[in-house]
Chains A and B, each alone.
Chain A
Amino acid sequence: MPELLAFQHGFAAALRDRQRTPATQQWLAGDADHVERRVAIYRANMVASADKALSAAYPVVRQVVGDEFFHGLAREFLRGTPSTSGDLTAFGAAFAQFLAAFEHAQSLPYLPDLARLEWAVHRAYGAADAPDWDAGTLGAVEPGRQDAIRFRWSPGLAVVESTFPIVRIWTIHQAGYGGEFSVAWDLSDTALVARDGFAVTVAACGAGDAAFLNASLAGAALGDAATAALSRHPDFDLGALLGRALAARLICGFTL
């Protein structure tokens, strides 16, 4: 193996496992104690980078569990799911799965769903800006062909389903929230995450709307998506949903 590659593999092993540090002495100047103390600086940087990236994506999870516990979560998450890129934008995508399995987070069963909501918010924040679109073109579709419409939804739009009141939990942890802080724990929320200009919005979404949106986001035509929603949620109101979606510019095009 070329010397540089051997050094980097050795150093990488020491960063991820303290027991592997002594082997780096063949490349690094100083005695064992010195090398361990200095490599520990890099090890701490590595965890700090993960903590910072996860904190940016999961600010509410961090508030809920506290800074110290969150730092521990970051270290544990990093151990099993190391970063694979110099771009940390996508780091932390699997945090919800990690939280669902992490023994010391089981006392907060809603945490994984809250994390899925925050990840959708994080993705929406950096999603492409919605293109301008003339919604009037939708009205020009012949009634007989409307069932075949496939909507192009605005980038970042996501539905996050949960059996916990995650929209409520998310809302009361936002900076500037001025209301009261009670949570009705027996309620469940489905969240609709969307961009409003450059802001990201999180709103509660009815079960029928969620079923329609999930089908449509997955590529289903309007008629099929509406049928799927109505079959399980007879009160689903397609007209009302489309009216709200068009008003909020959540639809930015369609194909036939």
Chain B
Amino acid sequence: MTAATTTLSGTGIGLRQPHYREVFERRPELAFLEVHSENFFLDGGASMHALERARAAYPISLHGVGLSLGSADRLADEHLAKLARLVDRVEPALVSEHLCWGGVGGVHFNDLLPLPHTSETLALLADRIDRVQARLKRPILIENLSAYVECRDSDMTETAFLAELARRTGCGLLLDLNNLYVNAINFGFDAVARLAELDGASIGQIHLAGHAVVDDCLIDTHGSVVCDPVWALYEHACRRFGARPTLIEWDTDLPALDVLLGQAGQASAIARSEATHA
């Protein structure tokens, strides 16, 4: 099976601690919940218990932010072992990571840092993803990144890079449309044209989120509602690729749960309407 043939469909939200109680009590109609894998690298306690409760009620998507697949010096095997333990424990519907690096030389920046899109990087990432998928015994999804700097050495677009990575490794793609939009503005390209570089069959999930505008730069903060141009991209993606499991991602300045549910409802309505014309 490839990651894109998961049985998951519909819209989910990121589950964050301030919403635990309300989600468990109200059980809102959602296709899945997504959490950051690293927040649950614990032996036990309240957080693990909350994740188990969430898992009992919803399919779970594990979204990693710290594996640092693109670190040139090493793949953090101890991090991968923790992720494997969590995957065994949770049996998630989806497991995703980012097309990025986070540290080198023993220092970690705990951020999603951009990579040059070169054949050297492609070979490295393909090898790393092979190792991760073998260890986890399942395909993973790789997410496109929002970035504030552009590598001079890149000789392919990020979307072409990801398409080739999926072809080589059998991994699926997590298409973050806010990230694509942020980069389109930051680096001046046409986001819709970039979508044409992707093979729809490899797309296993879509992320929608908000960003901030600081001076001449869009910053991927996950701290506001999805903006209109990103909704328009979502309509386009649903028309082009068909509906995909879609996540409303919100991490900073967390609003009331109903705001997230409202965004999720908006995404579901677009997916229903556009996918029928796909």
Contacts and interface: CB of A to CB of B under 8 A. Distances in A.
Interface of A: 2-5, 7-9, 11-12, 15-16, 26-30, 35, 37-39, 41-42, 45-46, 49-50, 53, 82-89, 91, 124-129, 155-156, 195, 198-199
B265 interface: no
Interface in B54-77: 65-68, 70-73, 76
- Which has the most chain A C-beta neighbours within 10 Å: B71, B103, B217? B103
Contacts of A50: 110
Interface of A is mostly: helix
A8 to B, nearest CB: 4
A245 to B, nearest CB: 20
Interface in B18-49: 38, 41-49
A38 B148 contact: yes
Interface in B96-123: 101-111, 113, 115-116, 118, 120-121
Contacts of B38: 86-89
Contacts of B42: 89, 125-127
B43 A2 contact: no
B153 interface: yes
A2 B48 CA distance: 41
A28 B149 contact: yes
Given A85-B66, A86-B76, A126-B45, A42 B118 contact: no
A4 B79 contact: no
Contacts of B104: 5, 8-9, 12
Nearest to A26: B152
Given A2-B72, A82-B107, A198-B49, 9 more contacts: A4-B70, A4-B124, A8-B72, A12-B105, A15-B109, A29-B152, A85-B79, A86-B79, A86-B108
Contact of B110 (A5, A11, A83, A156): A83
Contacts of B76: 85-86
B113 A42 contact: yes
B72 A12 contact: no
Contacts of A3: 116, 118, 120, 153
B151 interface: yes
B88 interface: no
B240 interface: no
Contact of B72 (A5, A35, A87, A91): A5
27 contacts: A2-B120, A3-B116, A3-B118, A8-B72, A8-B73, A8-B101, A9-B105, A12-B109, A27-B152, A27-B153, A28-B149, A28-B150, A35-B149, A41-B148, A41-B219, A45-B109, A46-B109, A83-B103, A83-B109, A84-B106, A85-B66, A85-B78, A86-B68, A86-B108, A88-B110, A91-B110, A155-B43
Contacts of A89: 38, 41-42
B274 to A, nearest CB: 33
A8 B118 CA distance: 14
A13 to B, nearest CB: 9
B120 to A, nearest CB: 5
Contacts of B78: 85
Interface residues of B, number: 50
Interface of B: 38, 41-49, 65-68, 70-73, 76, 78-79, 82, 101-111, 113, 115-116, 118, 120-121, 124, 148-153, 214-215, 217, 219
A81 to B, nearest CB: 10
Nearest to B104: A8
Given A5-B104, A8-B71, A45-B111, A86 B66 contact: yes
Given A7-B116, A46-B110, A86-B66, A125 B41 contact: no
Contacts of B109: 12, 15, 42, 45-46, 49, 83
Contacts of B102: 86
A11 B38 CA distance: 24
A3 B101 CA distance: 14
Given A8-B104, A38-B149, A198-B49, A46 B43 contact: no
A46 B103 CA distance: 11
B108 A28 contact: no
A129 B108 contact: no
Contacts of B150: 28-30
A2 B110 CA distance: 23
Given A9-B104, A89-B41, A28 B65 contact: no
Contacts of B153: 3, 7, 27
Contact of B45 (A9, A30, A125): A125
Contacts of A195: 45
A84 B107 CA distance: 5
A49 B70 CA distance: 19
